[in-house]
Amino acid sequence: MKRLLLTTAIVLAPCAAFAGQTPADMIATLLPSVVNIATVMNETPAPVAGNMASQPTASVTYGQGSGFFISPAGLIVTNRHAIAGASQIFVTLSDSTRLSACLMAAAAQTDIALLRVNAGHPVPALSLADSDGLRPGDPVFIIGNPLGLGGTVTEGIVSARDRNTPQSGFGAFFQLDAALNHGSSGGPVFDGYGHVVGIATALFSAPNETGSVGLGLAIPASDAAFVVKQLLDTGHLQLGWIGAHIQPVTADLAAALKLPDTHGAIVTEVAPDSPGARAGLAAGDVVLAVGAEDMAGPSALNRTIAASKAGSVLRLTVWRDGEKRPLPVTIAELPGDKPGAGGHSSAPLCEAPVAPRADLGLVLSGLTDDARDRLGLDDKDSGVQVLDVVAGSAAADRGIAPGSVIQTVERQPVTSPADVQAAIGAARAAGHAFVLMLVRNTQGLAWVALPLASAAKG
């Protein structure tokens, strides 16, 4: 598969605090970043022998899910199972705008998919926060599309961490009691500060029950950020794997195993003929460290293994029979995810964008009517719209934000992304240390000098 050219920057830092706002105010601010996902699935029954006139005809079924923007350029993260089998995907925004979506990439083993829409303007994006500090009892709330109702908020607490299921090939879920129903899958889970700490993914119901009984699972945002980056970089997952299922070490387990503390991850099962099995890893072993790095718990160990390349050797330190033992394990690639869109979906695949470029961290587009209205520009006003800004780039460091409009570069008017790129190239060729831009945002006009030596090519 072609490498996906990333012209959108996902933001991995926690979002801004909502100091002084009520919960309702905070939710009102977050709602426009959450989308409802509708899928169309065309099912053609297998042909049967006999008269062709009596053959069964294709049927159409529909599905519902949730998702949220992680880039102002229209990049959406959701669950893979929310779009599996879809021939068409539609996204509805909080203002009822309905857009067709294309599938960028998906991964079965992690149940994460990336979609893209073209809204014609920058969209409000959320951040994937660090979820490692989440604890049982912490308050959380979900915004999603349960039962197709759209824009629904439910709240609760984190019930437990590091939940594994037979279907989880990577990482572990956290459990929550906030109501999660069919159609909520893919929606963001927020902590009490408005940070995205997870992706609502699965619900458990009693026999003969189909709705929420307060047993939901979510993918931790820290794990999701790792997966999203790989999907954007390569179009598929290349996760390290040793074939071990693990769980946290509790105080009781530590006492029973004569461990000095509760750090590490205890092995519950090792897959036959897996790298772990071949290395001699066994159920009951506690992985304390990888190389010189201590493993605080299952999440840290899972991400360390996943980030390792196939063929490399991880030197584990395990606790067995009351003592530490070295155990080298040769990493294999996690089976199940192959290059491609990662699933049984026949939805339109996103083509790798040809342009715009992200020189100096700027992802640019032509000036839209929406941008003109928002900034009070007349038809005679020219400029180039900033669609997105790459995190950590020169443009981001100088405060240029998505939705801004660049009106001049080196004091010359610009009317297209090509004009901006040409002016930047000319400044480089002339040996300039900075390129000067006049940028308009909702606060007015401002001169910005971007350093050319730290150009961010993305």
Structure tokens at 117: 């829409």
Classify 300 as helix, strand or coil.
helix
Listed residue (371, 143, 182, 161) closest to 262, CA to CA: 161
Q: Which of 33, 66, 71, 111 is catalytic?
A: 111
The 3-class secondary structure across 407-439, one letter per residue, is: EEECCEECCCHHHHHHHHHHHHHCCCCEEEEEE
Three-state SS at 165: coil
Measured CA to CA, the distance from residue 217 to residue 175 in angstroms comes to 5
- The residue behind tokens 């790798």 is 352
CB contact at 8 A, 314 and 291 = yes
DSSP, res 101: -
Single out the residue of 301, 306, 312, 307 nearest to residue 266, CA to CA. Answer: 301
Alpha carbon distance 124, 143 (integer Å): 15
Count how many Cα atoms sit within 13 Å of the Cα of residue 149 in the half-sphere of its side chain: 12
- Is residue 94 flagged as an active site residue? no
Query: How far apart are alpha carbons 139 and 158 in whole angstroms?
Result: 6
To the query of whether residue 111 is one of the catalytic residues in this protein, the response is yes
Q: Which residue shows structure tokens 């951040």? A: 127
81 is an active site residue = yes
Whole-angstrom distance, CA of residue 121 vs CA of residue 72: 8
Contacts of 2 (CB under 8 A, 6+ apart): 235, 352
Q: Which of 81, 121, 195, 236 is catalytic?
A: 81
Query: Of 185, 308, 365, 404, which is the active-site residue?
Result: 185
The total number of residues shown for the chain amounts to 458
The pair of three-digit structure tokens given for residue 226, joined into one six-digit string = 């790792």
d(CA 299, CA 296): 8
Residue type for 115, please? L
- Structure tokens belonging to residue 252: 């009781």
Three-point CA angle 184, 190, 192, nearest 5°: 140
CB 235, CB 2: distance < 8 Å: yes
Active site positions, annotated: 81, 111, 185
